[in-house]
Amino acid sequence: MLRIEELEAVLPSMTRWRVHGERGVNWALLEAELGSALPSDFRSLAEAYPVLVIGGFLTVSVPRPGAEALWASESREDEVLHDLYERDDTHGYIPFPQPGGLLSWGESHSGDSFYWRTSPADPDAWPVVVRGDNGDWSEFPVGAVEFLTGVYRRTIHVPGMPRGFPSDSPEVLGLSDRID
């Protein structure tokens, strides 16, 4: 499992959004609401960074301190995934909270979705699954941080992504932790 410093080396513009110390996510509350633990690489990323938008394309959704229950709800209640599942158009994938179901951690501005397949039992072993807006499904035997690092290093290719993804030297924007 890669550390976030390796992702920062590939996306150096993200480091300006890194907080000093930790953001203070209430993991006990979030995981109780979710009904599951989360991968340690993602927890490290979420403690160091707010929601990130990479290259104006890919949004990495991390929980905001004080809005953990909302993040848990949004991550497991993916309406598009549920609709596809009801139409038997998920290539055998199932929505969370079913055992082994897909749990969302990101999305693109083109309608692509990024998930973990919540199997095996150890969250640190959950693979990344990508549902392309064009109907492509791909699974990668890595965590979210290693996936992002591989994509932006160009060692992981995601079928069905738009031309120009990933962009060269993408700018990374951090979204405020402010809760309205």
User: With bands split at pLDDT 50, 70 and 90, how would you rate the model's confidence at 40?
Assistant: very high
DSSP type of residue 123? G
CB-CB neighbours of 43 under 10 Å: 19
pLDDT at 77: 84
- Flag whether pLDDT at 43 surpasses 90: yes
d(CA 2, CA 88): 34
What is the phi/psi pair of residue 30, to 5°?
-60, -50
The model's pLDDT over 86-119, given as tens digits with 9 standing for 90+, comes to: 999 999 999 999 999 999 999 999 999 999 999 9
The model's pLDDT over 146-175, given as tens digits with 9 standing for 90+, comes to: 999 999 999 999 998 888 889 888 999 998
Mean pLDDT value across the chain? 93
- Flag whether pLDDT at 2 surpasses 80: no
**Cα dist from 2 to 9, 148, 156, 168, 175, whole Å:** 12, 10, 14, 22, 23
Domain ranges in the chain? 4-174
- Flag whether pLDDT at 179 surpasses 60: no
Q: Helix, strand or coil for residue 53?
A: strand
Q: pTM for this structure?
A: 0.94
User: With bands split at pLDDT 50, 70 and 90, how would you rate the model's confidence at 1?
Assistant: low
Architecture of the 4-174 domain? 3-Layer(aba) Sandwich (3.40)
Report, as an integer, the average pLDDT of 11-21: 94
Residue with tokens 């309608």: 111
